[in-house]
Amino acid sequence: MMSNQEGGAPLNDRGHGGFTLVELLVVMAIIGTLLSIVAPRYFSSLERSRETVLRQNLNVMRDAIDKFHGDTGKYPGDLTELVEKRYLRAVPVDPLTESAETWVGVPPPDGSGGFYDVHSGSSGQAKNGTFYGAW
């Protein structure tokens, strides 16, 4: 058997060490455990961020509707009218449906036409138990 130059432990026949199957399995088990801890938190934070963006988009559109009504004395017929009159740069995308076409307009109670409120077109349920369409 050969030994290294300092007279230490003998080298194996290949001249270098490697990982055993058991060592690889232990590393894979550790990685799997870490992923099982991190993945739910990641998806939970992703859902929370979508809800935050939805709330912000609704606030921006409702503010634009209020300003439109204050300036013109009537409610907009649709969201594209808010863009045409430059109350919005563009119709925001609903982060839950990933479309700008799924917003649901709510007509005013007096029946004067147009809509005075907007909701998400998503049928999903938020973390707090409420439905997105009711926000």
Instruction: Evaluate whether residue 100 is within a structural domain.
Output: yes
Instruction: Evaluate whether residue 24 is within a structural domain.
Output: no
Instruction: Evaluate whether residue 4 is within a structural domain.
Output: no
Q: Residue 63: which residues within 8 A CB-CB, separation 6 or more? A: none
pLDDT in tens, 3-24: 555 555 555 555 567 889 999 9
Instruction: Evaluate whether residue 72 is within a structural domain.
Output: yes
Instruction: Evaluate whether residue 39 is within a structural domain.
Output: no
For residue 92, the model assigns a pLDDT of: 95
- Count of the separate structural domains present in the chain: 1
Instruction: Evaluate whether residue 74 is within a structural domain.
Output: yes
For residue 16, the model assigns a pLDDT of: 66
Residue 84's pLDDT band (cuts 50, 70, 90): very high
Instruction: Evaluate whether residue 85 is within a structural domain.
Output: yes
For residue 77, the model assigns a pLDDT of: 92
Residue 26's pLDDT band (cuts 50, 70, 90): very high
For residue 8, the model assigns a pLDDT of: 56
pTM: 0.71
pLDDT in tens, 32-80: 999 999 888 888 889 999 999 999 999 999 999 999 999 999 999 999 9
Backbone phi, then psi, for 134, in 5-degree steps? -95, -5
Among 116, 126, 4, which residue's Cα sits nearest to residue 65? 116
Backbone phi, then psi, for 40, in 5-degree steps? -60, -35
For residue 49, the model assigns a pLDDT of: 93
> What is the rounded average pLDDT of the residues 102-131?
90
Return d(Cα 50, Cα 56) in angstroms, integer. 10
Quote the domain boundaries for residue 124: 54-134
CA distance between the termini of the chain? 77
Instruction: Evaluate whether residue 47 is within a structural domain.
Output: no
For residue 94, the model assigns a pLDDT of: 94
Query: Which burial class, exposed, middle or buried, applies to 132 when counting CB atoms under 10 A from its CB (0-12, 13-18, 19+)?
Result: buried
